[in-house]
Structure 1
């Protein structure tokens, strides 16, 4: 929109862009210098608030994919799952920005967090709650086709749409594992790997959650295929 174009949306901001996106309200959500315990509070807040927005979108797309699957609209569900994958991919690299704080600077930021912890992320909690429902929807589709995961992987050409959906689950699962792995390393780099977090949770517990899967069979089926290949192809 040209900056001199007439505004058509209601609001007091100087442009429709700002009125539609509520940028005044959005940008007021980050702490200003007058409230900082340390200037890196802005960095910390931007990384985490932006992640919450992408997680909100991810949850919406998971819920949409479930609806589409239950209606038999598998291609549409695949497009929604692609968005979930992108959301997870987007929130992962910004974690590196947290490594641009020195360990001591982060200790100053940490004093402002109270008992705030990533375990309390509403976006991640909602995503974690919604993913089992997605897995259940995928299982229903497999059952309606009379397929096990092993059957599916042995007959991909006959089941392309279902294969695409299951592989999206793999990408989502792998993306979450990568996100958790990087998050763990960021924690270790900032506060160390042998201490407790803001809620008294040992970093070791966070480390043990890195490879938690939304559907274990996504990975065990690969071992089954390898065993089958060893028996029949060699």
Structure 2
């Protein structure tokens, strides 16, 4: 195998229409040259994180559009866009598993290349933290208080599995998947550097646990608690075991 020739072809700028449209020359030049890699796992480390930034860019772009449609009450457009974001978050979460093929020893070498950088500085991650809460404001203004309703009525007293309910469930799905992404990232840290170590910022990576517990839409989670507690008051929190009835 002529490794040098293959490497050169892999990094060639390209002149075909497909290459020009996708800017593959620029895209494939975003990683270190093969000869500059600190070890053979550094390329996957760069690519996975760069791809994650691209997916987060698409999620952010889609959420901004979804917010526009929330404000105008275009429910079907909102649901479609949120479903796209759901799939992207699942994809992002699964992609993190690729990095678990990297040994802790190899990652220590890569970590030296990061300076004081960490995933908390991700531009895509930071912009999503700003955008997602805006969806709630638009949803509330159009489908909840703006429509003379409450989250409890949508889920309970006036439950009709209608547009407001469908969007609420799409929003809680977004919240859940974002949390799963953050939780999977914590497991990746467990695998690579351990949870008791200090981060490159000098803080314990245990602090990431608090971020994984964050919920964008607490009202959607709390309504389930309220409904279950009221159900318990009505039907009893402890009931006879059905096994007793079977025995009789």
TM-score higher than 0.5: yes
Kept after mapping to 2: 8 A contact 1:103/1:190: yes
Pick from 149, 152, 161 the counterpart of residue 150 of structure 1: 152
Counterpart position of 1:214: 216
Q: Deviations over 1:199-229 (max 9, x none)?
A: 2221110122211100111111101111222
Q: Deviations over 1:67-100 (max 9, x none)?
A: 1111121211111111111121111011111111
Tell me how far apart the structure 2 counterparts of residues 41 and 156 of structure 1 sit (CA, whole Å).
52
Q: Does residue 227 in structure 1 map to residue 229 in structure 2?
A: yes
Kept after mapping to 2: 8 A contact 1:98/1:186: yes
Kept after mapping to 2: 8 A contact 1:30/1:45: yes
Counterpart position of 1:182: 184
> Which structure carries more helix by proportion?
2
Q: Does residue 54 in structure 1 map to residue 55 in structure 2?
A: yes
SS in 2 for 1:111: helix
Tell me how far apart the structure 2 counterparts of residues 194 and 45 of structure 1 sit (CA, whole Å).
25
Counterpart position of 2:34: 33
Q: Which runs of 4+ in 1 moved over 2 A?
A: 12-15, 230-234
Q: Does residue 203 in structure 1 map to residue 205 in structure 2?
A: yes
**How far off its partner does 1:132 sit?**
1.1
SS in 1 for 2:54: helix
Number of residue pairs matched by the alignment: 222
**How far off its partner does 1:233 sit?**
4.9
Kept after mapping to 2: 8 A contact 1:74/1:165: yes
Deviates more, 1:193-202 or 1:167-176: 193-202
SS in 2 for 1:209: helix
Tell me how far apart the structure 2 counterparts of residues 138 and 104 of structure 1 sit (CA, whole Å).
47
CA RMSD of aligned residues (A): 1.4
Structure 1 residue runs without a partner (length 5+): 1-11
Kept after mapping to 2: 8 A contact 1:106/1:190: yes
SS in 2 for 1:34: helix
Counterpart position of 2:136: 135
Kept after mapping to 2: 8 A contact 1:32/1:42: no
TM-score by length of 1: 0.90
Structure 2 residue runs without a partner (length 5+): 1-12, 237-248
**How far off its partner does 1:19 sit?**
1.2
Tell me how far apart the structure 2 counterparts of residues 199 and 186 of structure 1 sit (CA, whole Å).
18
Alignment of 1:118-129 (within 5 A): 118-129=119-130
Tell me how far apart the structure 2 counterparts of residues 132 and 152 of structure 1 sit (CA, whole Å).
20
TM-score by length of 2: 0.86
**How far off its partner does 1:230 sit?**
2.2
Counterpart position of 2:108: 107
Counterpart position of 1:167: 169
SS in 1 for 2:212: coil
